[in-house]
Chains A and B, each alone.
Chain A
């Protein structure tokens, strides 16, 4: 098995320590860090696809994403400054008043594993905090808002209004997700993207990121 295939298999199996060792061995054998990164992104893409089609479930995707994260800890310092080392930035948070983070964390992990630099604002994120984060990261093109409760859904619209009022709405594409969210809701409040699950969200973030490029 080639080193890259081994790294991919270790990611899928959720073996974080193995992933780190294999990356170091691959670099030692002369593989370019950027090629390793691309191989890992492809491997996580395949994991995401298996999740999307129902072949695997949250636990399997979660351990793969955690192993990917371990691998990135080793690889990131080696690719800093290389063009294409990150696809772009992704600011994410659970909307004001809502303290739920399981779905948001999964989305953050899957988006990160597709090469994004993720800025996670946590839960109960007030609109001003999104505004500040966008202003502090003018190169960020996509943000994600998570919402679980029907009672906090109105706060998503309020957040969009606050982005517009602060003059940063056109700087970013906004994707929204969470159990009660539908495409119709997203269209209705004037957000830009919806994904029904974390793997699809990662693809959506890439797509929206490209659209603004």
Chain B
């Protein structure tokens, strides 16, 4: 047999391939869940509580049942026996307090937006119309909104049966863990001590495609299409929550339009469509309006962060104490209580702090539940420590970059085990920072800043620094186990070489905008030596990709992509045995390169595509080799991935109006080896936009009754390209040593690093007036007030501090159940 010549081509890894996904998406040939129509399908609409905390005293559905087109009107008491309790897969402590979490309220409502009734009708319009005919009486209960007062013992309760609003307290102490020193001693002996309180506002994940679910009970398997990030988790959780046989459930995540953590959930509506479809024996579809997303989809962030930092007068940090209050909202969703814990080991960031202590108390309020939002715990940690490092620099009258240099891990100190017990495998903070400062023109901007200060320019210039790392690529299963997480962190891939030499790659990760199809094609094409175009990537359907743990936490490439590498390598190993058999040589004598096995020292060889045909015909296979060229790999990472970067922001602050304009934004990220630089650039740009949005624009606001007042995009300000600066980005490269691709996660980097860069810039512009903080989002009014207060000598901390004193004696931090991983 003669070998097919394979021309040596440019490697796929590192190529800015245009996305395979886009031609179809941009021409509208899409498969969003809401595009699906199946025979006999009914439409579901959900009635939501207009009040934040109340007993349901009566529900009258009789008029709604008589409305045209209506097939059913179902209330919580109708399904109380079937709906179970929405799953929380992350019980962070053994004594965590968790309320029952019904998909539909039965006798009480605990946040405005909670489902209270549902209608199935022939059309979506008829279903919506019928909602107006449902009559519900509520008996108001005390509404618990403020996180700090909710944490106190004398607060009214969200869930009477729990006896407290405190869900759990999770602690880490480096002295107890043996990973560092004693924080109290460090604070006692501090030459400089910095105490600050920051407020992480509540945010709403603003994915472009609203959530949608279609449940079809008419087939042999019960099929659910859902706009979800987690089809595999959803399938298992549907089975466990509803007591259904897992093998009778199939979940499909078709085209999914963004998630940002907001679709990392098992939603009430997924349970409700399932139950309604089952009840009626007909397919049922639900698609939400944007305002439904905003009141009922889970929110993100929402913490009060109190930090104390001890340092020597040369800028060396000697200890850090972190105390958090985290708002759970009314219920625990899939990973709600663990979100702040994802930040617990990151407050020490890139620094060699000798002592570290962390404590977080989770608190229930009558608000929409919180859960993962891009970065999930790590933006909160990065924001707090990067604000603190700038505050320390200000206290010492030292350049903020210099303060960081004096504390960060040197490039020659990797691998480095941190005070939080994590082992960072690689990084080079010096070179990323140097490059960023050069691109930024750091000294030139500092000179301009000084000039503006001296001339009293009404527009002041501020420079914000943010250096970051994060733990992503979730995650080593054993680590997740030690954090009481309810699942593993492995990933699955199958690689199948078809008889004609084309390749199918199955991944258990589930893209919703991340470009897996393009990137996995590049990875496998390189590995097998086949053309990029010859690779198809299958995902998002528990029938075609039966094993996986889906997409979140920047895990897809570093875990799922590596699984595809391992499956490819298994295919090559198998092909090598077949090729050796056919070429009548030892497999040790075969070199594999460019898709071709060559017998060393001869001109004999054969292409892997020919091996695939031979494996398919199976006429002459070696002993013990099964007839196909497929392989499957399950990969459990040995460590997290630790991307890092340096972000610099120059902001012009109009001291007359308080308006902030980002004049220049530079970031140099190190995400290790890069599969597709265009995709990485897109991730960075989108991440920056979301991080800047937290700093300047977005905030979910509740009024005193617990009504969300920012339930439309007219009120919840998501910036557009018109509001954002040009981003100047570059990359440095220190490969991850924990995976064969050398890759690190990039999905959350921009979001994590940018928020403190912007706020540090705003504060830096105003510091000479006496401003030490501006609460996020730094709206023009907040900036103007901070400046007015500083000029008049009153405290600017009153708002940002959020009643710090009351926390100290209220017991929000001190009391509660201590436990958790140590």
Do A and B pair up? The answer is no
Which A residues form the contact surface with B (CB < 8 A)?
A: none
